[in-house]
Amino acid sequence: MSTPLRLGTRGSALAMAQSGQIADALTAATGRPVELVEVVTAGDRSSAPVHRLGVGVFVSALRDALVARTIDLAVHSYKDLPTAAAAGLHIAAVPPRQDPRDALVARDGRTLTELPAGATVGTGALRRIAQLHALGMQLEVTPIRGNVDTRLARVLGPEADLDAVVLARAGLARLGRADVITETLDPMLMLPAPAQGALAVECRIDDPDLVELLAVLDHAPSRAAVTAERALLATLEAGCSAPVAAYAELAEGDAGDEIYLRGAVISPDGTRELRLSRTGTPADAAEIGKALAAELLDLGADSILGQEGHTGPGTQQFGSTE
């Protein structure tokens, strides 16, 4: 029996579920046993609002463990990763992406349009807060923290104090809680965060055997979509509080597969927003993202981003999938 690979993961129910699924897939594909190693991150220890926690709070401890060789690989929610590459580390696989859309969980089975004016809606992401405000529905939007169960309890629990919450659909699906979703939100209403629904399997670049082993988990269409979205984000140099959204879809075109990328920058109060789209080939995924970001900047995206701080390339932190 081969020595088990040590897979580093956060200890939340969602992180453990995600990592367990990757461990099972890797063992099934290669026969190599995998053991989970819990790593506590700064984000797990803090109760501050997600968008104020700083860069890489759900990531840095896992990466430190990789560098220290106390784990062999790590699984991240891809949207938690700063856009700047980490020295000595490599994203060896982007497994098939879960549905990247956002989901509404509301009392009495309501959809978003059925919520009355003044309804209280909780979410942890400024991107969602900004887009909810932009709908002009006079909702009371409240920043919230906590794992999936904690957030759901704010709506469904015996001491519920909110009318609805908005979470990533992927996280609910991975936990087997998709049944509580009252509406999966159309990207025309709520454009997802860059890389939402995708996982990143990371290892040390000086371990070529493991890099090759993990490649079996890589899903080229998911990697291309995420590459386009994160190239847009990196080119915008979005700060940790910037409401930036992006969603790339792959579809069959006349000359083969095409990427259709939508991007948006929205002011936190929802009064200003820019939305554009661009198409191209999967091979040009990064260039599509960069070009769309350049168009957004030409239209004044930097002035919207500047309302919440603009901290330089690779420094965004969207918070965990939860």
207 belongs to the catalytic site: no
The count of other CB atoms within 10 Å of the CB of residue 136 is 9
240-273: buried (b, 16+ CB within 10 Å) or exposed (e) per residue?
A: bbbbbbbbbebeeeeeeebbbbbbbbbbbebebb
Handedness of CA 18, 20, 21, 25 (dihedral sign): positive
Give every CB contact of residue 238 below 8 A, 6+ residues apart in sequence: 244, 305, 310, 316
Q: Are 147 and 159 in contact (CB under 8 A)?
A: no
Candidates 80, 102, 161, 163; catalytic one: 80
- Sequence-distant contacts of 58-63: CB under 8 A, at least 24 apart: 58/10, 58/319, 58/320, 62/8, 62/9, 62/10, 62/202, 63/89, 63/202
Residues designated as active site: 80
